[in-house]
Structure 1
Amino acid sequence: MALSRSARRLSFGVMALVLSATGALAQSAGPAPTPSQMQVARQLVEANGEARAFDGVIPNIVDGAALGFLQTNPDLAKQLRESATAVKPEFEKRKGEIVDIIATAYASRFTEQELKDALAFFSSSVGKKMVSDRAQIVQQSVANIQAWGGKLNAEAMERIRAEMKKLGYDL
């Protein structure tokens, strides 16, 4: 039942993304996507890996709802955990709604042909490799950016120290 801090942040971040996407759609002045655009957009969301990126959202939301009750009823932790586990399958069936939200965002911004072209790419061997290697690419990039940021910070501190020395301050 207890979510890790990173899982809670991910859950809230995902909810913010979904809410901002729906808000942006509500503000969109373009024509509604056609059924065929939506069909291709849904396939694209599955092929490009975005649908899988939201796999943990629904369980996290259900666990969060149970945690809300836990704050006022701490003695019911076991029963709340069991209740959350019991209702998760019911809510997991709604994952298609997340796919539809993302697909609508794509379909409202791309023509059907553009969606088909993107789907063709993500269905190709290179597109599939991009999706399968995305997590490792992001992990490597974050580690390298952190190292770069540390180096840049050290250089900036040294330069600020030199500038402050010109002003008569020895840091």
Structure 2
Amino acid sequence: MRRTIASRLGFGALFLTLALGPAAAQQPPVAPAMSPPPSASEMQVARELVQVNGEANSFVGVMQNLVDGAALAFVQTNPDLAPQLRDVAVALRPEFEKRQSEIVDMLALAYANHFTEDELKQALAFFKSPVGQKLVSDRPAIVQQAVQSIQQWGVKINAEAMERVRAEMKKRGYDL
């Protein structure tokens, strides 16, 4: 197989890199397995896939956040210019919003580098199916429910761990 499962890119890592900003972006990229560049046809199917599966929509607002973040970086050294910097950021947003398609292209390239054209077409067919469309439409609620459950679980585990640490420290003569 031209592209292996082991080399598939996790988009969570990509999103985390964008969220963490320049420090995370300085990490060296993971090199994809050496394979021929994707064909125009593969890229076309991959672009459609990232639109239909909802991933392209996951990055709506990224450009605004990047432009606003750039302006805010200057507020730290020039706090009196905050209103003017905000106005400049708002004025520049449309210019950068035009580059949103670059994100779609990067997502599509990652898919095209890790899936064959036939696999991309199969994934696209799934996401166009009623179940695939339901997955896309229900994903935000599913993720929200999972995150809330994980947060509650984390609080419980933290409390248990604190009790265990307290008990172990007490055995060693320390009363926490």
Q: State TM-score, norm by structure 2.
A: 0.76
Distance 1:23 1:163, change over 3 A: closer
What percent of counterpart residues are identical? 61
Larger % of helix: which?
A: 1
Per the alignment, residue 50 of structure 2 pairs with 45
Map 1:1-171 → 2, pairs under 5 A: 12-13=18-19, 19=25, 23-24=29-30, 27-160=32-165
Give ranges in structure 1 of 5+ residues lacking alignment.
1-8
Distance 1:125 1:169, change over 3 A: same
Shift in Å at residue 166 of structure 1? Answer: 6.1
Give ranges in structure 2 of 5+ residues lacking alignment.
1-14
Shift in Å at residue 139 of structure 1? Answer: 0.9
Give, in whole Å, the separation in 1 of the partners of 2:105 and 2:69.
23
Give, in whole Å, the separation in 2 of the partners of 1:91 and 1:48.
24
**How many residues end up aligned between the 2 structures?**
161
Distance 1:170 1:86, change over 3 A: closer
**RMSD of the alignment, in Å?**
3.0
Shift in Å at residue 110 of structure 1? Answer: 0.2
Shift in Å at residue 147 of structure 1? Answer: 1.8
Report if aligned partners of 2:17, 2:25 keep a CA contact under 8 Å in 1: no
Distance 1:162 1:61, change over 3 A: closer
Q: Which residue identity lines up with residue 42 of structure 1 in the other structure? A: R
Q: State TM-score, norm by structure 1.
A: 0.78
Shift in Å at residue 79 of structure 1? Answer: 2.4
Give, in whole Å, the separation in 1 of the partners of 2:75 and 2:174.
54
